[in-house]
Amino acid sequence: MIDTNHGHDAIEAIRLGRAAARYDIAWFEEPVLPEHLGAYAEVRRGQPIPVAGGETWHTRHAHPQAIRAGAIDILQPDVTGCGGLTEMRKIAACAETEGIRVVAHVWGPGVHLDASRQMLALLPPVPRRHAPNDPLPDLDRTGNPFLAEIVKTPVRLEAGRVAIPPAPVSGSRSTAMRCPPGPRATWAKPSSWQKYPGGPGAKPPAGRP
């Protein structure tokens, strides 16, 4: 996937999408500003990579606007930004009604990841199809105290899957989620607070803040 964090205008995003299409990329995430649904639709028409977005859209009212505008191929609501567990289930129901694929956005500290794992365990495959895809979590594997040390039990990746922890939530359809295959079998996105290598609990080098 390509994630440009709405860093382009439509002209630049179309040029990038056309140049990158030969690499068989799964989706083009947030190519333009999230408020510019017309530009999203223009990018979707102008290049072949599926367009994804939704982490900065809020509630069941904003996400259907993007669907109606023909702006996206893949909807990415974030449980901590869209309005919580109940609101995200309603957003997923809107997407299922229109046949739009949902790949939940999951990127943040450990509490965010725990809430997202519970949400992904509850969501049905959207849209429904003969061979449903397992839900995909973003999983930061760099040393980061906000990810690992803020929770009692840090997330562990085993055989490309992460377990759903016990919680007072009913209706879970799965006990694990699949991470995409690859050298590390994770999604890895750079961010400003990933300063120090060394894995969970790593300490900053001497002389560094």
Q: Are strands 28-29 and 2-3 parallel, antiparallel or unpaired?
A: parallel
Q: Which residues contact residue 50 at a Cβ distance below 8 angstroms, ignoring those fewer than 6 apart?
A: 26, 27, 28, 73, 74
Dist CA 102 CA 73 (whole Å): 9
**H or E segment at 98?**
helix 85-98
Dist CA 128 CA 122 (whole Å): 14
- Please pick, among 6, 63, 105, 112, the residue that the annotation labels catalytic: 105
Burial class of 180 by CB neighbour count within 10 A (0 to 12, 13 to 18, 19+): middle
Rounded to 5 degrees, φ, ψ at 21 are -60, -30
Query: Active-site residue 61, yes or no?
Result: no
C-alpha triplet 34, 181, 179: angle, nearest 5°: 60
Query: Which residues belong to the active site?
Result: 105
